[in-house]
Structure 1
């Protein structure tokens, strides 16, 4: 919304003009006068103040709309200064043109007869008087205008950053399902000729897993408990392939079950442990999942038998996905670490508790 049409600014502008003219017109004439003033004279001073304030408010409102519509503060400041100077001069002319007929009308309404006749010198002084007040208003308005514009730019920037984050997260989420399906369908294809029943069971588990991933694709966080249900289903699929070569253990802190985590992030850790760890071991190995709460962070740790080794054919899509999603959702408050320790690969995620 433009500043000139902002309700709070309009009220502030009107009250500001009333206070300015009260402090310079009615206030000194009424409260600093040493003589007792007639009622019609007091009434005239107040109406004079209100009339000057309303005229000033009207002119400033029109000018503020013009500045909002026609002046871009991102342009050359020299050109902006000239435009404001021209507007300032026009306002002085308009004020001088309208103020005296208005004050004559006010004087007639109050039946106040002044002993002082306003001459040319007095009217010229009045122009400088109003110019001073208008300079004060212009300074205040431009200050608020620039602050309002900076705030609007910052808000738009935040909205763009938020939209960009959402777009990036949606892209990363879109990588999960194809990546997971590719590996699972390859496993099913290998089972089709060996054991049809196992292949059918694997398809059923895969269907449940995909249903979960699709229903959670439009959210950025789910409870750890919901994620664990999906992990158990994924392990059931994997055990059909690895049989006795895969042992899976869990050590879950019960207090962590209600905590929020990015969907399918544990599944990707497990998948990475199986693909790059257990599958490379002739006798298989152990995959251990543990969750603990440490201070203000939730720690998720997946340990698998094996060693850290980079395959030339590996794109490391899963690990890159995890790092990017954590960075987008939590910034530097979340960490992901992958290390080798005594023939074991340890993947650790730390997420701030929200």
Structure 2
């Protein structure tokens, strides 16, 4: 499957700051060059040149408009990376058609301004002049594609650097969660206290802690993992918290069976669950309800971590490393096709990730 970066289309010309400046400057140079060429000719007088200026203006204006339309057409072609031969073939064909349209069009449109003896349409000149205009459009197309490809290469390089930065940050964040001193300290402290009070619960907590560490330390994938593996890791983490908080923590996991093999970016849900635990227990002796859900909505996958409580300003701002990491990773992976939202409704805080389902499902 071709990634979004590799299948990147040409950007629309109106979104390129350099395009219109280059268009105006290039066609102005072409216009001045045409006048200078006539001045250098011994057969052309200055009066004839002045009389032919409207004729030249129409020619350059049409060239500007047709080449701008050609740029828009090139932007709509299939991706350069997806099918380079087809792209180049259509691009050259479009340039040839543009040149073929340009020459007779300006001849017809400039007729009212053409003085006697200037720019007469002679059969002997028609085909050479037509080929000249086609060649000019082909040259313009090659220059436009070369500059645009340089722009795309720079954008792809920036995407790669950003992806590497996000991956490095995700690896660091995963290590923080894997060996979270505060979490391990609380877990070991709870085990120590339970060892003299409730041996069975202490043993259960050791078992759950071992399962959690096995999941997080053994599976270091931060790219794509099965949803079931992500949920198993979350379940082990919540089981430890359940032993610590007992009846004050109520957990429900609702994952449809047909979604368990769906591939999601690794270590995506854990920051949301830990965020819910951290903020949900701010009120002492109050039961915290946490729901982890995954559901299908047409061609989209919706992942939700909901907890009872209220949405604090810190959570609303999303300034936490974990939440920011989640948002940046899904934005990089799916662009505008994915969304992360954190909201409160009737005493329930919901962290929701919506992403395309068709690009995530495990191929048969």
Q: TM-score, normalised by structure 2?
A: 0.54
> Does the aligned pair in 1 maintain the 2:291–2:306 contact within 8 Å?
yes
Match of 1:239 among 238, 242, 251: 242
Deviation per residue, 1:233-279 (Å, 9 max, x gap): 22222223223322211222223223332212222221111111146
Q: Tell me how far apart the structure 2 counterparts of residues 342 and 152 of structure 1 sit (CA, whole Å).
A: 51
Q: Distance in 2 between matches of 1:201 and 1:279?
A: 27
Q: Which deviates the most, 236-245 or 293-302?
A: 236-245
5+ residue gaps, structure 2? 1-21, 35-124, 196-201, 359-364
Contact 1:278–1:305 under 8 Å retained in 2 = no
Instruction: Report if aligned partners of 2:174, 2:267 keep a CA contact under 8 Å in 1.
Output: no
Structure 2 residue 207 is matched with structure 1 residue 201? yes
Q: In structure 1, which of residues 317, 320, 326 is the aligned counterpart of residue 321 of structure 2?
A: 317
Aligned to 1:284: 287
Distance 2:323 2:258 in 1: 27
User: 1:195 Cα shift?
Assistant: 3.7
Whether the 8 Å contact between 2:208 and 2:237 is mirrored in structure 1 is no
2:209/2:237 contact within 8 Å kept: no
Structure 1 segments unaligned to the other structure (5+ residues): 1-72, 86-127
| 1:257 pairs with 2:260 | yes
Could you tell me which of 171, 174, 197 is aligned with 1:177? 174
Matches within 5 A, 1:216-227: 216-217=221-222, 219=223, 221-227=224-230
Is contact 1:184–1:206 with CA below 8 Å preserved after alignment? Answer: no
Residues 327, 281 of structure 1: alpha-carbon distance in 2 compared, 3 angstrom cutoff = farther
Q: Which residue of 1 aligns with 2:112?
A: none
Deviations 1:127-167 (A, max 9, x none): x9xx9899679636633530341343144134213303312
The alpha carbon displacement at 1:213 in A equals 4.5
Report deviation, 1:187.
Answer: 2.0
| Matched pairs, number | 235
Correspondence for 1:346: 350
Q: CA, structure 1 residues 251+134, in 2 after alignment: closer, same or farther (shift >3 Å)?
A: closer
Mapped partners of 1:310, 1:281: distance in 2 = 19
- CA distance in 2 between counterparts of 1:179 and 1:242 reads 23
Kept in 1: contact 2:226–2:262 (CA 8 A): yes
The structural deviation recorded for 1:289 is: 1.6
Aligned to 1:21: none
Please say if residues 212 and 233 of structure 2, whose CA atoms lie closer than 8 Å, have aligned partners that are also in contact: no
Supply the RMSD in Å over aligned alpha carbons. Answer: 3.8
Aligned mate of 2:270, from 267, 271, 286: 267
Q: Which residue of 2 aligns with 1:302?
A: 305
Could you tell me whether the CA contact under 8 Å between 1:336 and 1:349 is conserved in 2?
yes
- Alignment counterpart, residue 159 of structure 2, candidates 119, 142, 162: 162
**Take 1:203 and 1:288, find their aligned partners in 2: how far apart are those partners?**
21
Q: Is residue 2:190 matched to residue 1:186?
A: no
In the TM superposition, what is the alpha-carbon distance from 1:295 to its structure 2 partner?
Answer: 1.9
Q: Compared with structure 1, are the counterparts of its residues 143 and 200 closer, same or farther at alpha carbon in structure 2 (3 Å cutoff)? A: same
For the 8 Å contact 1:227–1:266, the answer to whether it is kept is: yes
SS at structure 2 position matched to 1:194: helix
Give the TM-score, by structure 1 length. Answer: 0.55
Q: Distance in 2 between matches of 1:346 and 1:152?
A: 43
d(CA) in 1 for partners of 2:130 and 2:292? Answer: 72
Q: Distance in 1 between matches of 2:158 and 2:308?
A: 40
Report if the CA contact (8 A) 1:304-1:345 is conserved. yes
Query: Which protein has the larger Cα radius of gyration, Structure 1 or Structure 2?
Result: 1
Per-residue CA deviations over 1:160-198 (Å, capped at 9, x if unaligned) read: 133033123213312422432324223234335424555
Residues 235 and 155 of structure 1, relative CA distance in 2, 3 Å threshold = same
Q: Secondary structure at the match of 1:166?
A: helix
